[in-house]
Amino acid sequence: MDVLTNVFHGFGVALLPVNLLYCFIGVFIGTLVGVLPGIGPISAMSLLLPVTLSGTPESGIIMMAGIYYGSMYGGSTTSILVNIPGEAASVVTCLDGHQMAKQGRAGPALGISALGSFIAGTFALIALMLVAPKLASVAIAFGPAEYFSLMVLGLVVLTFLTQGSMAKALLMACIGIVLGLVGLDSITAQPRLTFGRIELIDGIGLVPVVMGLFGLAEVLINTEQAIKRDVINAKITQLLPNKDDWKRSAGPIGRGTLMGFFLGILPGGGAVVASFASYALEKRLSKTPERFGHGAIEGVAGPEAANNAAAGGAFIPLMTLGIPPNVVMALLLGAFVIHGLQPGPLLITQNPGLFWGIVASMYIGNAMLLVLNLPLIGMWVKLLKLPYNVLFPLIVLFTIIGVYCSSNNVFDVYVMIAFGIIGYFMRKFGYEPAPLVLAFVLGPLLENNLRKSLILSQGDLMTFVERPISAACLVLAAILLIVPMLPSLRRKRELVALDEGA
Amino acid sequence: MSSTTRPPFRLNNSEFWTGVIGLGLGVFVIRSGLKLKLGTINDPGSGFMLFYLGLLMCAFAVSIILASVTEGGPTFGSRWEDVRWSKPVLIIACLIAYAFALEPLGFLIATIPLILLLLRIIDPVRWTLAVPLAVLAPVGVWWVLKHGLSIMLPTGTFEIG
Amino acid sequence: MLRRNRIAFSLSIAAAAIATLGTATIVRAQDYPTKPITLIVPWPAGGSTDISMRAIADAASKHLGQPIAIDNKGGGGGTVGPATMAAAAKPDGYTISQIPITVFRLPLMQEVSWNPDKDFSYIIHLTGYTFGITTNAESQFKTWKDVVDFAKANPGKVTYATPGAGTSLHVGMEQIAAMAGIKLTQVPFKGGAETNAAVLGNHTMLQADSTGWRPLVDAGKLRLLMVWTDKRSPNFPDAPTLKESGYPMVYDSPFGIAGPKGMDPKIVAKLHDAFKKAIEDPAVIATLAKFDMIPNYKNTEDYKKFVVEVTASERKVIESIGLGKK
């Protein structure tokens, strides 16, 4: 009952007209920056941080939070329409989302990602209200050894991302890790593989890599087709998901939400692992895994739900421990501190109006986002009716600007162009970019945590098996690796194993 | 599978050569790892991970090469059959030229010709559409970024933009 | 081809520049600033340095009349940002960086790409941190003496989380350990958020960091064993200082800001004045106090002298504890 009174109290704060206005401004800006790849919530929030000073702490933080989860909604749009992921978590959405767009099903893809996001976001908020303080311990239960094993589990997922040769996918993953390790070693501060280029000291940016490998390479592949064609081959039949789409998506959304929420609590990499893992899980559970990569709506619904639920989960360590799990949350922490508030164990008890007000406003913001985004789908789909010879130079322009804005650095534009060319040849020779990107994100975390855990355990490898969470991750990874081989073996023995795993 | 006759190995097998490239990269990574020092198991050095990754890369590359020798693979030519290979090459050339021009010329002066070129050389768009589009799209984006988000695109030596 | 074109191109630009009067740069220095300034903060967003620098930059931007954008370039113990700036940024005053003490220290420990004596135009010295050692509230360590006793019996078993290798926390801990005759094991994390999680989750026994641990100490989840300031902190009157614990040292890792080498002195003066006013602003002082920082103003000349002094004293410390460049 305590929770219920608090929730009412929270809505009382959130429904104040001024807070409603700030909430709307936040989600509106969030949608805008989310649609533009590269210009993520980070730049928008840093720019608006001073603006929040003028109002009350509630309205400032409500707006900042709005930008954050608003950008999560918009993030999938360019992935689906033109195969340009703006961040690592959207890479998965590209795999099937863009295929759906090519088949004339951009509407359902966008629709399921907006509705899936709404459902996941709502669930995450309810969970945040009910269990936030209890889950605080999850965030700190993960030490270096646990992170290492979680990253191993995350990397195993990549075996599900590929349709072609496993050796090629694994080679790509290794290259991804190596690329991720470029730059100053975070433990010894030694430069690695920088070839004396000062721009590489900071490492290779994720945005130029994904935009090159996906967006630009896609353009190169498309232009070599002899037929002058639109992005979409088929006629657009529907704008929203139909009954069959919903039936397929319900399970993935539910599972994606749960997975995203729990992995989102973990500082660093949680949201990315969640979206990739959700894709892998759905492909594994599907009775028709061969549809994945060719426009399966489950491959859009699950990861998108996971992605948004993770955004909700990420508030837990910030609000309860004052530990920001990612850069965006760190900016939000900045907004708190500027207003003289210290997120930490005492925040909820000392400032209940603030905490519950923010949570309630996020609920309202989620509903606003849905209203804002659904009508936009029609507009986005019309964009695809542009002939490709007009559209593709605009896509190129879009990638250049997105990459430049993500870092304000011309060097990143070179990196993007280089990866566009590499990505083109990779596709020509049947090497897939998704494993490379996943490994690129997880690799440095894997290495850093492996080294830290070995320092902590004084070189004892048993630390990974002795710690229960770590052991569980490793066991799960082993199961994931072994199980997919079983049905194929059985099939070879002409034993039908179709109804298992449903 | 093994019952079918083994296809003769040809040197223009693209699988084989991409595997060789992978092997080369693997060897390079191993060498970089060794140079950066492996450290010890209780305090792994900067090259620790790179060294073992390099070994893995070599292993995967070798398996790709072996598969290409035993099972054969598509030739280079077949990868570009029935496609207009000259078009991506043109775009790549444009983009490389653009990369060199961006810093000295600035965003606007470099990007407008790039978009115009792309509109005209692949599947030519009529001039009456290409010119306004090539001018308005970059200028529009530049204006929004500058005045809306106060993000400065490169101005170049002419300080335009 | 391309190269020759570029040379011809730059020649023509040079000619044009000479033709349009050599006074162009002076005019620009007077107009400065005409566009937003980027301030590199070489720490992750949300840490104590980041938030205090944002507050200072915000106040300074009011005096400069242009916004100051914060660019968080973390890594390398706070050296990646300044190093990137020294190598790549133009000395036009539109890119400046916070300069943590590691910029002077790391060159003593290993080969680096920058020279702290030559590669920066020092602008103003701003403030320093309050560092402290904490442990989990459930830990067996009630006082620093408990740590020393345990470490004497179990050499190398005591682990401590720092925000990076070669940071003041790392060097300071090693120096304390050397004085106490004990052996500790450092585990370098990235910034305060991660070290908080490490000690809260019992992954490391101790945490050595700036006051990002404050809300957790206030809430009784962490225990503060010692602070490294000159005098006891008014916010934590119960925690003894290093001196009181028998180590005659003060570790506060002072910091300032600098631009790339070769900046126009007029631009340096403008930035200096704006940032001086910023750290005199009561609102900024209040924000700094949230992180237990007190403004420690040094003008451009004094800052330059200070860099020389600090490099000399660091060299002694680094060599005495065996971290020096081989």
Same-domain status, C123 and C155: no
Q: Which of B42, B94, B151, B152 to mutate to test the interface with C (most CBs of C within 10 A)?
A: B152
Roughly what angle, to the nearest 10 degrees, separates helices A91-102 and A270-285? 50
Residue C298's CATH number: 3.40.190.150
User: Could you say which residues from 437 to 456 on chain A have a Cβ atom under 8 Å away from some Cβ of chain C?
Assistant: 452, 455-456
Q: Is the dihedral of CA A98, A99, A100, A101 positive or negative?
A: positive
pTM: 0.80
Are A178 and B53 in contact (CB < 8 Å)? yes
Q: Mean pLDDT of all residues in chain A? A: 82
Q: What is the ipTM of this complex?
A: 0.90
Question: Cis (ω within 30 of 0) for the bond into B104?
Answer: no
Would you say A435 and A170 are in contact if contact means Cβ atoms under 8 Å apart?
Answer: yes
pLDDT at residue C26, as a whole number: 46
Average pLDDT over residues B142-146: 82
**The pair of three-digit structure tokens given for residue A246, joined into one six-digit string:** 């919903």
Q: Which of C73, C119, C203 to mutate to test the interface with A (most CBs of A within 10 A)?
A: C203
CA C81-C87-C90 angle, 5° bins = 95
Chain A residues closer than 8 Å to C290 by CB: 337, 340, 342
Chain A residues closer than 8 Å to B134 by CB: 393
Task: Locate the chain B residue with the closest alpha carbon to C156.
Answer: B42
Are C13 and B150 in contact (CB < 8 Å)? no
pLDDT at residue C290, as a whole number: 76
Residue C191's CATH number: 3.40.190.10
- Model confidence over A100-153: pLDDT tens digits? 988 888 889 999 998 998 999 889 888 888 887 777 777 788 889 988 998 888
> What distance in Å separates residue B34's CA from the closest CA in chain A?
12
Q: Which of B1, B95, B116, B139 to mutate to test the interface with A (most CBs of A within 10 A)?
A: B95
C28 within a domain of the structure (yes/no): no
3-state SS of A383-399 is HCCCCHHHHHHHHHHHH
| C324 has a chain A CB within 8 A of its CB | no
**Amino acid occupying residue A113:** S
Are B154 and A404 in contact (CB < 8 Å)? yes
Identity of the residue in B60, B118, B150 whose CB atom sits nearest the CB atom of A171: B60
CA–CA separation, C15 vs B155, rounded Å? 19
Domain range enclosing C269: 36-128+254-320
Same-domain status, C187 and C41: no
Of A105, A27, A36, whose CA–CA distance to A75 is shortest? Answer: A36
C77 within a domain of the structure (yes/no): yes
- Model confidence over A370-424: pLDDT tens digits? 888 888 888 888 887 788 888 889 889 988 888 887 776 788 899 999 999 999 9
CA–CA separation, B141 vs C36, rounded Å? 19
Same-domain status, C43 and C116: yes
- Model confidence over C228-258: pLDDT tens digits? 988 888 888 999 999 999 998 888 888 999 9
Same-domain status, C198 and C157: yes
> What distance in Å separates residue C120's CA from the closest CA in chain B?
24
Any idea which of A178-182, A225-229, C145-149 has the lowest mean pLDDT? A225-229
Residue ranges per structural domain of chain B: 14-79, 86-148
Same-domain status, C72 and C210: no
| Alpha helices by DSSP H, chain C | 2-19, 24-31, 48-64, 80-88, 102-109, 144-153, 168-180, 192-200, 214-218, 265-280, 282-290, 300-320
CA–CA separation, C196 vs A323, rounded Å? 7
Are A329 and C197 in contact (CB < 8 Å)? no
pLDDT at residue C25, as a whole number: 43
Are B150 and C36 in contact (CB < 8 Å)? yes
CA–CA separation, C147 vs C184, rounded Å? 10
C53 within a domain of the structure (yes/no): yes
Are B149 and A47 in contact (CB < 8 Å)? yes
CA–CA separation, C32 vs C65, rounded Å? 10
Of C286, C211, C58, whose CA–CA distance to A344 is shortest? Answer: C211
Chain C residues closer than 8 Å to B100 by CB: 2, 6
pLDDT at A227 over 60: no
C60 within a domain of the structure (yes/no): yes
Question: What residues contact residue A327 under an 8 Å CB cut-off, 6+ apart?
Answer: A42, C44, C45, C46, C72
C118 within a domain of the structure (yes/no): yes
Picking from C208, C227, C246, the residue at the C-terminal end of a domain is C227
Any idea which of A74-78, C10-14, C113-117 has the lowest mean pLDDT? C10-14
Neighbours of chain B (3+ CB pairs under 8 A): A, C
Go through chain A and tell me how many residues it has. 502
| C110 has a chain A CB within 8 A of its CB | yes
CA A82 from centroid of its chain's CA atoms:
17
CA–CA separation, C306 vs C256, rounded Å? 11
CA–CA separation, C323 vs C105, rounded Å? 10
pLDDT at A484 over 80: no
Chain A residues closer than 8 Å to C60 by CB: none
C19 within a domain of the structure (yes/no): no
Task: Locate the chain C residue with the closest alpha carbon to A191.
Answer: C112
User: What does DSSP assign to residue A79?
Assistant: H
Same-domain status, C136 and C221: yes
Question: What residues contact residue A127 under an 8 Å CB cut-off, 6+ apart?
Answer: A261, A312, A313
Are C200 and A140 in contact (CB < 8 Å)? yes
Chain A residues closer than 8 Å to C2 by CB: none
Q: How many domains are contained in chain C?
A: 2
